[in-house]
Structure 1
Amino acid sequence: MYLFLKYFKKRIAQQTPIEQRVSYGILSGSVGLGSNLILFILKIMIGLFSGSISIITDAINNLSDMLSSGLTVIGFKMAGKKPDHEHPYGHERSESISGLLISIVIMFVGLQFVKSSLDKIISPSALRLNTTVYVILVISIILKLAQVYFYRLIGKTIDSPTLIATAKDSLNDVFTTIAVLLSAIIQASTGWHLDGWVGLGVAIYILFSAASLIRTFINDLLGHQPGHELVEKMDDLLQTYDDILGFHDLLIHQYGPNMIFASVHVEFDSNWTLNQAHHVTDKIEHDFWHQAQIHLVCHIDPIDINNQKYAKIYEAVQAVIKHYELGLTTHDFHVEELVNGDKLIQFDVVVPEHITTNDDELLVSINHDLRKILGQVTAEITFDHNYIGDDHSLI
């Protein structure tokens, strides 16, 4: 299998990353379609022959896996379509939609077999078991283990949550088939009617797996916190630019694993011209696309680093913020002198997730404490709650 994937990788080496992803996805879906069809046919035959509800349940589970593989192929094909007028951010979330549909199918199958298994528990019957039944169950376990390895390898290669989830589902199938095999052996040896109970256990296991998958794919569609590795990668790359004083307010929007849009506020010396700052931000955006395939937009924040006049005001703001002992940090610090001589202080406050004090209370408190120190000043504050990564502001 490893050699086959190595050969396949060479065949698609000239494709773009998105095209490679689609090729891997279609390959995995096609392999799943064929292997699960074989497993379904074998298990449904021995299930009907033996009269075992647990084996039939396991067979239908393989049928749902086969349908899932078909949806995976469709999902990857749709995800590979280029952005168009109606879908400017591409179609990669089609993969999550197909995964959600797969999970709903699995949930439906689980519910059906809860009922069938309960009927079997209430009205147990003898099973017809022979060597062929045991051999086919052992073969299906081996084939499912091969699927786990195959899906995991491709899932990690293309960073596909759908395939990693499919690998998990295949591993679940291994455990359920082992349980079915053991119950068949015990029932044949002792006469204990375990078939309905094992079928019920398999059905409940299917339901829990489906619920977990549904939650995962709904989160993907709604949007969730990006992975730590991606945030760290962006932070590290931004810190390589010596011309910027700092950065903050990083936002990341993912429309699929290969369709990532982001924005960040980049701080420059206020003595720079707009053209100078624009030249640097252009380079940053260009580098992010060519080195990380991320569509980055930079917002320019001028910082007056040589103005001693406002140093006292900045120090007062920091003293007030630290006095609350809430873990608050600030950035985007600006001071504007009003016509009447009063000062308007503008800055952002980053509020940690665990803080329960609301923004209005903080605004009133900060203004009250600053006026005690600085006199007639007004603080205009933006409270940040949902930005990503560490704050790398100069001030």
Structure 2
Amino acid sequence: MVNFLVRLFVKNSEQTHLPEVRSRYGVLSGGVGIALNLCLFAAKFLAGLLASSIAITADAFNNLSDAGSSVVTLVGFRMACAPADSEHPFGHGRIEYVSGLAVSVAILLVGVELGKSSVEKILHPEAIQFSTLSMGILAVSVAVKLWMCWFNRSLGNRIGSTAMRATAMDSLTDAVATAAVAAGTVIGHLSGLLLDGWIGLLVAAFILYTGYHTAKDSLSPLLGQTPDPEFVEQIAQTVMKHDEVIGMHDLIVHDYGPGRRMISLHAEMPCTMDVLVMHDATDLLELELRHKFNCEVTIHMDPIEVNNQAITEMRKRLIELVQGIDPVLSIHDFRMVWGKSHTNLIFDLLVPYQFPMTNAEVSKLVQERVRQMEDGQYFAVVKVEQAFV
């Protein structure tokens, strides 16, 4: 069914990196969600009236809010494919993340309201009128919501969309909530226990838990999360396969929305190369990365001394020194400046986030270890940097 709908409504469905194709996927997801959720709202609202159940009625309005969330998803994808302009030179792709966050907020609001209604029902319990029609409606609703979860997850995985994955999780929570409501109704009918409010409270807690995690997943790329390690490895492999490049560092991936990434990095090249050859190699590498990963690329050339035996040996010793402190530490942009009384070792020290020492502490420790080399002949001039990947 998913493949059929994609073929029917999404032109060029395989080119998921294109904003207009992502927009078509978003319209498909939103349109299906609006239609099915409105149908479920009407059916569950009728079931809630027949059974006099606050849990079923609340579940019905949950579906109505889901229809609103589908509208947000649809509009979000349409706005995200808008072209760049003078005020937004990198496009509007992050609106897709915002729409996912809006869906998450809707999930949280439904959880809060359902929790309040459930507490009222616990304090003032009422008998539920068992209805075969109501149970049938709830059973169909669970099946529909499970299909919607699978449908949106399939679309979300195809295009790597956090918004669609949030919608899929919303559908899953709905299925669980409706199943719990149905189970509570049946148990209450058979045992005489008034479980409607308690079941509603458990469902509300589950909805709030899901809303929190979907909100976290949607908010993370807006704040600027670390890139996918596999993506970083692919970039490194592409860069390092070029003979002119002997090292790479300071890789930064800026995410302006799905399919709208910008890469910047420093490529180390032998300083003995002609500067025009280095520049040409850098241009070709930028072009390859741009074509391969569909992103903007800026590369800075770092000329590295490769023929000076003293510098090469000292670089190796310095790498061993910092990794002796902790294997996660590394250096780059190394150079030596000789003087009459001492020699300066100038380099950047790469320190990961959450390192147990402060930047000042690790810098001081490295400087002390360097001073212990060769009877104080060497001084370390350290610039501490954090890793962005």
Q: Is the 8 A contact 1:343 1:377 kept in 2?
A: yes
Q: Which residue of the partner structure matches residue 188 of structure 2? A: 187
Q: How does 1:241-260 map to 2 (within 5 A)?
A: 241-260=242-261
Partner in structure 2 of residue 215 of structure 1? 216
5 Å-filtered alignment, 1:97-176, equals: 97-176=98-177
CA distance in 2, matches of 1:54, 1:238: 57
C-alpha contact (below 8 Å) 2:253/2:264 kept by paired residues? yes
- Identify the range of structure 1 (57-66 vs 5-14) with the bigger mean alpha-carbon deviation: 5-14
Q: Gaps spanning 5+ residues in structure 1: where?
A: 389-395
Name the amino acid aligned to 1:351: V
Whether the 8 Å CA contact 2:10–2:25 is kept in 1: the answer is no
State the distance in 1 between where 2:112 and 2:335 align.
Answer: 60
How far off its partner does 1:354 sit?
5.0
Secondary structure (helix, strand or coil) at the match of 2:380 reads strand
Aligned-pair CA distance for 1:70: 0.4
Q: CA deviation at 1:2?
A: 3.2
Aligned to 2:370: 370
Counterparts of 2:28 and 2:188, CA distance in 1 = 40
Task: Tell whether the 8 Å contact from 1:92 to 1:259 is kept in structure 2 after alignment.
Answer: yes
Match of 2:60 in 1: 59
Give the distance between the partners of 2:87 and 2:202, measured in 1 at CA. Answer: 46
Q: What is the deviation of 1:51?
A: 0.8
- The 1-side partners of 2:236 and 2:203 are apart by 45
Count of residue pairs brought into register by the alignment: 387
Asked if structure 2 preserves the Cα contact closer than 8 Å seen for 1:54 and 1:202, the reply is no
- Aligned-pair distance for 1:105? 2.4
Match of 1:44 in 2: 45
- Per the TM alignment, residue 306 of structure 1 is displaced from its structure 2 partner at its CA by 0.6
Which deviations, in whole Å up to 9, do the C-alpha atoms of 1:229-251 show, x marking residues without a partner?
A: 22222122223212211111211
Matched residue, 2:226: 225
Residue 326 (structure 1) shift: 5.3
Matches within 5 A, 1:306-317: 306-317=307-318
Distance 1:363 1:126 in 2: 70
Structure-2 change in CA distance of 1:324 and 1:115 (3 Å) = closer
Among all aligned residue pairs of Structure 1 and Structure 2, give the percentage whose two residues are the same amino acid.
35
What TM-score results when the alignment is normalised by the length of structure 1?
0.91
Give the 3 Å change call, closer, same or farther, for CA 98–3 of structure 1 in structure 2: closer
Counterpart in 2 of 1:90? Answer: 91
Structure 1 residues 196 and 238, CA gap change in structure 2 (3 angstroms):
same
Cα distance change, pair 281–131 in 1 and its aligned pair in 2 (3 A): same
Structure 2 Cα separation of the partners of residues 163 and 6 of structure 1 = 15
Structure 2 unaligned residues grouped into runs of 5+: none
> Residue 52 of structure 1 contacts residue 127 of structure 1 at CA under 8 Å; is this kept in 2?
yes
Cα distance in 2, alignment partners of residues 151 and 319 from structure 1 = 50
Amino acid at match of 1:281: T
Pick closer, same or farther for the CA change 1:38–1:305 going to 2, 3 Å: same
Amino acid at match of 2:122: I
- The alignment's TM-score, normalised by the length of structure 2, stands at 0.93
Aligned-residue RMSD, C-alpha = 2.1
Contact 1:80 1:91 in 2 (8 A): yes
Q: CA deviation at 1:273?
A: 1.8
1:109-134 residue CA offsets vs partner (Å, 9 max, x unmatched): 22222121111112222222222111
The match for 1:299 is 300
181 and 344 in structure 1: CA distance in 2 versus 1, 3 angstrom threshold: same
Q: 1:190 to 1:310 in 2, by over 3 A?
A: closer
Alignment partners' CA distance in 2, 1:370 and 1:244: 28
- Within 2, Cα distance between the matches of 1:162 and 1:2? 18
Amino acid at match of 2:337: E
Deviation at 1:276, TM superposition (A): 0.8
CA distance 1:349–1:51, change in 2 (3 Å): same
